[in-house]
Structure 1
């Protein structure tokens, strides 16, 4: 009998390597305990999708001759919200066809509410689309009978999720968030040459025990794609300046990753401080508001309290991370930030990547 599968994949936060990771630099990324959840269950009435953040009602769809999901009579803004689902679903169906496995009609439920803050439904910037891509692929695979319990299957899932996410994002992004959602924990991540059979390098790392960190919400969401496009336009117009700046950022990333791996917290803190300034410089040269006034203000508050700060992700809004080597300083930073009206989020590193629960049909 066809099973009911529930999957969940964690979000992510980048400790080091924004923008430079797109140029081949190693980055440090951690999976976070906010989850995208997908439930796939057998249906007698064909395919349907329920996702309150996309549409308040259940949506029915069929598969066309190219195995692409076709939704009837939906406004353009809803179809835009369905892009990640449709792309990921199409990749899954294509792979199942290649393996000559049927995809039985299913009710599919998506839930990414974990990635939003409070009543205002502000998106936190923790990689919800990547987590959803991984969770959906995993659930559809298990639903069709493909086990994800061994390392080889996980690596295949990673590759499929990287491809699906890149297509949905119109080739913007490094895949660092996909890796965190797939494997969990803290990873060193590096993009390899497109021609290689393994598109990314991954290594599980342990953070030094005396590295303390706080995740602070800037107060506004940011558009990663818009910021990355703005930086890429500048790169095209000023290739020499871009190459020189990225060379310095890549060197910092390499040193920072080594510092983490050998447990040199003080050196890592120095790298964070330098990287913040290079992100600021990248923003100034490209015109993209990476270190926006709110991130400058947060950096000043953290510095006053004795710590180090950088935006996490594309910048402008979303999240930042405060770092220190002292638990007392960490408490002092938290007091400074909350007194200034900022929210320190109770996030924790999630050691597990995507997980599936399978309930066999009767």
Structure 2
């Protein structure tokens, strides 16, 4: 039995702008995981999940191809990760084998609540990691990111892939996306092996160390959001209001540069100020594009945190899911958490997860 895990994530700042190459975001990996286990099989393979027991997926091999007999399944990211990783294994001369693959996710609650912690990215990364171990392939973090990013992009079709980076590298990271158009062209011209070893234009991943007093609070509003749908709607705004969109990008980049410098300087106050600025920029973007990023309950979550001395904003695409609060660890949080409870906001008891490479 071989297994691998990957953590979930939350965006701290830089959402929407990060989908453009070179525009930074800050993301954090969390200590809730997707675990993928693989066990060799003689005759048929199975993909199963405790979360989707009624949708276990069976497959056979015809030559080097996986052939599935289920028409509807929730395993698109796993299948894409298998396809890409086995293509890589073949390129390295590894013979393909049969196996059972099992997925167990902690990123959604036991009763099916979806917290927006990046489960599709985590399961993609964990599947690639597990298969590389199964096929005895030594893979660096950079190669793992690139392989998982391609697999994820093949399914989702958009997004920055920052959630993949958080699942691969762990901790707090500053992330700048690669050029998707370059990747599309490079995939037609380069072998997969060469592509994983190439420099990807625009891609930059930097590990950050937070100031000692910094405490991260996460509030869940109970309303799941569709990241792909929201990103698509912002893309329409980009196409029709290019000047306003470009202004948003520039202001977001400047804000994130100041925030990243705050991490370098160990300056909690600077980080909090820029969290507030980033919230304002996202609300302005929402107003201009007619996309609801900060829902009524997210606004309540943020406003109550601000009155308690924190800096707060929505996390990720918004439209529901989670908000984050950056606050001094010395502050008493009892009153804030009581206000959240009264308003139906669930504090998630999660910590930052650091990956040991």
Which structure 2 segments of 5+ residues have no match? 183-197
Alpha-carbon deviation of 1:331?
4.0
Other-structure match for 2:192: none
Other-structure match for 1:11: 8
Q: Distance in 1 between matches of 2:144 and 2:46?
A: 23
Alpha-carbon deviation of 1:311?
0.7
> Judging changes above 3 Å, is the alpha-carbon distance between structure 1 residues 159 and 290 closer, same or farther for their aligned structure 2 residues?
same
Task: Quote the RMSD (CA, aligned, Å).
Answer: 1.8
Other-structure match for 1:284: 287
Question: Does residue 29 of structure 2 align to residue 31 of structure 1?
Answer: yes
Q: Distance in 2 between matches of 1:20 and 1:275?
A: 11
Question: Does residue 160 of structure 2 align to residue 158 of structure 1?
Answer: no
**What does residue range 112-191 of structure 1 map to in structure 2 within 5 Å?**
112=105, 114-119=106-111, 121-148=112-139, 153-170=140-157, 172-191=158-177
Other-structure match for 1:110: 103
Other-structure match for 1:335: 338
Q: Distance in 1 between matches of 2:326 and 2:55?
A: 43
Deviations along 1:55-104, one digit per CA (max 9) or x if unpaired, are: 42643202455x443211x343x2xx221121111101110111110121
Other-structure match for 1:360: none
Counterpart secondary structure, 1:123: coil
Q: Distance in 2 between matches of 1:186 and 1:213?
A: 11
Name the TM-score, length of structure 1 as normaliser. 0.89
Q: Is the 8 A contact 2:122 2:167 kept in 1?
A: yes
Which structure 1 segments of 5+ residues have no match? 355-362
> Judging changes above 3 Å, is the alpha-carbon distance between structure 1 residues 167 and 43 closer, same or farther for their aligned structure 2 residues?
same
Other-structure match for 2:67: 70
Q: 2:199 aligns with which of 197, 200, 204?
A: 197
Q: Is the 8 A contact 1:13 1:32 kept in 2?
A: yes
Aligned length: 339
Other-structure match for 2:79: 86
Q: Which of 1 and 2 has higher RCO (CA within 8 Å, sep 6+)?
A: 1
Q: Is the 8 A contact 1:306 1:333 kept in 2?
A: no
Q: Is the 8 A contact 2:11 2:315 kept in 1?
A: yes
Q: Distance in 2 between matches of 1:62 and 1:45?
A: 8
Q: Distance in 2 between matches of 1:333 and 1:302?
A: 6
Alpha-carbon deviation of 1:342?
1.6
Deviations along 1:95-122, one digit per CA (max 9) or x if unpaired, are: 011111012110111112x111242x11
Name the TM-score, length of structure 2 as normaliser. 0.90
